[in-house]
Structure formats: C-alpha cells, structure tokens
Amino acid sequence: MKKLLKLIKEARFVFVCGNGGSSATAEHFSNDLFSKGVRAICLNSNTSIMTMLANDYGYKEVFSLQLKRLATKDDLLITISASGTSPNILKALSMAKQIGMSAFAFETFKKGSRDYGKIEVKHVKFAHEVAAKI
C-alpha cells in the first residue's frame, strides 16, 4: 500500500482501468481518489470512446490507445484485474512502459485459483484502504 500511495502522490494524473466487475471497482476507486483531490479518471468510464476504440481497433486496444493519446511520463496507470491476463490490461501496461509512466497492478488470482468473489472483495477493500490514507 505504501508504494501505491507514494505513486499516487507523485503522479501528475492517475488513470485506472479494469474489465467486468473490476471495471466497476476501477470506476469506484477513481471516484474515491478524485473526491480526495487526486487528478484521476477511469479509462472504462467513457462508453463512447471505449466502444469506438473497440469497434475501430479491437477491444485489446481500448485502454492502451487512451493512454497513448492522454498520458505522459509523469502519470500513473493503475490496473485492476482478477486474472491479470486480459489482453487489454496487458496492452495498457505495455503502453505505460512505452510512455515511461509508472504503473501499479492490483493483486491477481493466486496460482490455481479462479475465485472471483474472493479477489474482487480484496480489490474493493484495498481500494478503500488506499483512498482513506490520501
């Protein structure tokens, strides 16, 4: 948690993203950060941009192309994913590296586990704990 808090405080802007249930957590987390004065936005919140990118470039590009057009090396990407293997999450992390920005991935499934409920509860709890310390 200390590492993420440091990254958030040092970032010019914070981008958060996720899929499925993790997209809801990403949106909630970016809202909590924003309410604390952090310049934060959820990349899966603008359905017009997401569906245009998915239609024109493919779903695996929906986060990476937003970062390419919006992010700078002084920004932070936070990914929230149960599996950590979604192509669009991996492409976003790759784009963050290409840009030179910091990135932080929430904990994913333990090896051999596919318990979505357990990991999603951990994600929400962690997000609230982080936001409470800002």
Topology classification of domain 2-132: Rossmann fold (3.40.50)
Task: Give domain limits for the chain.
Answer: 2-132
Q: What is residue 23's predicted lDDT score, i.e. its pLDDT? A: 97
CA 88 to chain centre: 11
Weakly modelled stretches of the chain, pLDDT under 50: none
Q: What is residue 112's predicted lDDT score, i.e. its pLDDT? A: 83
Q: What is residue 91's predicted lDDT score, i.e. its pLDDT? A: 98
Q: What is residue 113's predicted lDDT score, i.e. its pLDDT? A: 85
Structure-block tokens of residue 38? 């952090």
Is 13 within 8 Å of 96 (Cβ atoms)?
no
Q: What is residue 28's predicted lDDT score, i.e. its pLDDT? A: 98
Amino acid at 7: L
**Strands across the sheet containing 14-18:** 40-42, 14-18, 76-80, 102-105
3-state DSSP assignment of residue 55: helix
